[in-house]
A and B are shown apart, each in its own frame.
Chain A
Amino acid sequence: MAEDIKLMKGNEAIAHAAIRYGCDGYFGYPITPQSEIMETLMEVAPWETTGMVVLQAESEVAAINMVYGGAGCGKAVMTSSSSPGVSLKQEGISYLAGAELPALIVNVMRGGPGLGTIQPSQADYFQTVKGGGHGDYKLIALAPSSVQEMADFVKLGFDLAFKYNNPAIILADGIVGQMMEKVVLPEQQPRRTEEEVRKQCPWASLGKTSERKRNVITSLELDSAAMERNNIRFQAKYREIEENEVRYEEINCDGADYLLIAFGSSARICQKTIEIAAQEGVKLGLLRPITLWPFPTKEIKHRGNFVKGILVMELNAGQMVEDVRLAIEGAVPVEHYGRLGGIVPDPSEVWDAMKQKLNINICNKQIHNVPELETISEESMQEVISNLNKMTP
């Protein structure tokens, strides 16, 4: 066994990966199920080694504004929280996007709304990819489904944030946060020197030099014409991200009769659903969006051409399913299955729901009740046609 394979929780992996990335600062406020992130940072005490700042702020709102301040200086800074805490941060997140600042936010989701429960949920999909805060902005949203990805997406998130000067978010949940799996941590990278920060982030407010005008970090622009120009610039950047940064994983998709679409821990559950369905002779594929924004719209549309139906499984009442339906444009039936408030479905429950919602007939012997031709009405004809359409060959 290689010495560098470790067994740890997803939350711990994020903390270690942040230190190893050369993160300059973490600002947070504890909340289950992600408190191990700050606990691990406090235990490892990176301020003694890399010089990384780890600070428990007085609130989530303070923490996100500390991130704003650090990011404005070109530093690689992050915060983490769980659903209710991330709601509190939304104003700051909108400001980060409006000021075009790179930063990493981690949301280890729990069941809502309100304070809700502490058990796993994926009900913050809309908040993450459709806004959350005010204004026309986008977050680069990464959805890890393993402890290894919890570690890997810290670097990916920071790299994308700095590449596009835009906040990135890791959207995890209580399962990937709390479970332990094997992980290979990245190599320790040094923190950037002040000189390197100045070079990488010429916009950073690190003190005016004689060679340039002063840098101002703000999202405020009272001149509407200028603000529209800013927005147009943001939108152009978002289109570029949509063009270049879509990430997804396909499992078992080639030749699949039906498709599951799920992200994060739901995608892990669905992998087992594939195994269960295979025992009953049905071939399922799984398409797992890794970036929730930019969303793999084209890839899902393409896959829709080859399957009879799609089930979107999420730990919510139906959120990502809307984006899947927009991608599929009615070409095949798209159904949703989810459990709410912190309940996690088991893999066979997902398969049962899929069979029912997509009319997957296992024995292929189900005989539909066909009325006599003479007595057939327009209405029952429609019903027969739709039943025939639903039948599997």
Chain B
Amino acid sequence: MKQEIIIAGFGGQGVLSMGKILAYSGLMEGKEVSWMPSYGPEQRGGTANVTVILSDERISSPVLNDYDVVIVLNQPSMDKFESKVKPGGVLIYDGYGIHNPSKRTDIDIFRVDATDAATEMKNSKAFNMIVLGGLLKVRPMVEHENVIAGLKKSLPERHHKLIPMNEMAIQKGMEIIQKI
């Protein structure tokens, strides 16, 4: 089993850390993992993306042509990566940032209104965890307990008190994701 995922959005949306938590969850599950970020000035304000691969076997290239799962959190990322979903793959987007959704019919498209949900939760930082929850609902690639273990591993200890909030956000994402 191999899952090739790209998460793309604006810098500051928590794209890289979401990928990191996913990678750590895979690590806790004993999978081979790779996490390849776009780095540098893109991290602040520009577009940022991260490729995460979870696999039962040794991972060849950390750089890919197309993906099993594409998560786009703004329109430029939608424009750039919509065509990179493998046929039969999954496209997930946040309804808030996207005004021009995909018209592809050979893939499964899901919408998760994470920006709205995060505002409702009065916690903009929950945004990326809500998206992650949505992903785990439609593609349960890692066990829930390993996600929590991955969270613990990727967060510095002083932030461990935020884990229950993150769990809630993941739960929320699982509830609100809808197939288009």
Q: Which of B20-28, B131-139, B167-175 contacts A (4 or more CB under 8 A)?
A: B20-28
B105 within 8 A of A: no
* Contact call B33/A33, Cβ cutoff below 8 A: no
The answer on a CB contact under 8 Å between B64 and A346 is: yes
Interface segment out of the listed B7-15, B34-42, B71-79: B34-42
Q: Are B34 and A33 in contact (CB under 8 A)?
A: no
From A181, A271, A272, A348, give the contact of B33 (CB < 8 A). Answer: A181
Residue of B nearest to A347 (CB): B61
B85 → chain A closest CB, angstroms: 15
Q: Please determine whether B36 and A179 come into contact, CB atoms closer than 8 angstroms.
A: yes
For residue B33, give the distance in angstroms from its CB to the closest CB of chain A: 6
Number of A-B contacts (CB under 8 A): 73
For residue A357, CB closer than 8 A to chain B, the reply is: no
Contacting A33 at CB < 8 Å: which of B36, B40, B59? Answer: B40
User: When the two chains form their complex, are residues B63 and A174 in contact, meaning their CB atoms are under 8 A apart?
Assistant: no
Pick from B23, B59, B65: contact of A349, CB under 8 Å:
B65
Picked from A271, A344, A348, A349, the residue with its CB within 8 Å of the CB of B60 is A271
What A residues does B39 contact at CB under 8 A?
32-33, 118, 174, 178
Residue A182 at the chain B interface, CB threshold 8 Å? yes
B53's nearest neighbour on chain A, judged by CB, is: A181
Contacts A32-B39, A118-B40; is A179 near B61 (CB within 8 Å)? no
B62, CB-defined interface residue at 8 Å: yes
- Report B-chain residues with C-beta under 8 Å of the C-beta of A178: 36-37, 39
Taking each of A33, A118, A178, A273, which has the highest tally of chain B beta carbons within 10 Å of its own beta carbon?
A: A178
Cβ-defined contact, B63 with A1, below 8 A? no
Which residues of A from 229 to 280 have beta carbons under 8 Å from B?
A: 265, 268-275
Task: Decide yes or no whether B30 CB sits under 8 A from chain A.
Answer: yes
Q: Is A204 an interface residue (CB 8 A)?
A: no
A16-62, CB < 8 A from B: 32-33
Q: Is B108 an interface residue (CB 8 A)?
A: no
Which residues of chain A are near B62, meaning CB under 8 Å? 175, 179, 181, 265, 268
Which residue of the partner chain, among A5, A180, A269, contacts B61 with CB atoms under 8 Å? A269
Known: A180-B20, A268-B62, A269-B61. 18 other contacts (CB 8 A): A1-B27, A1-B28, A1-B30, A7-B35, A32-B39, A33-B40, A175-B36, A179-B37, A180-B34, A181-B34, A181-B62, A182-B32, A265-B62, A271-B60, A271-B61, A272-B63, A344-B63, A349-B65
8 pairs from A and B in contact (CB 8 Å cutoff): A7-B23, A7-B27, A7-B33, A7-B153, A180-B33, A181-B33, A181-B62, A182-B27
**Taking beta carbons and an 8 Å cutoff, which residues of A are in contact with B?**
1, 5, 7, 32-33, 118-119, 174-175, 178-182, 265, 268-275, 344, 346-349
* A-B residue pairs, 8 tightest by C-beta: A271-B60, A272-B61, A180-B35, A346-B65, A272-B60, A179-B36, A118-B40, A348-B65
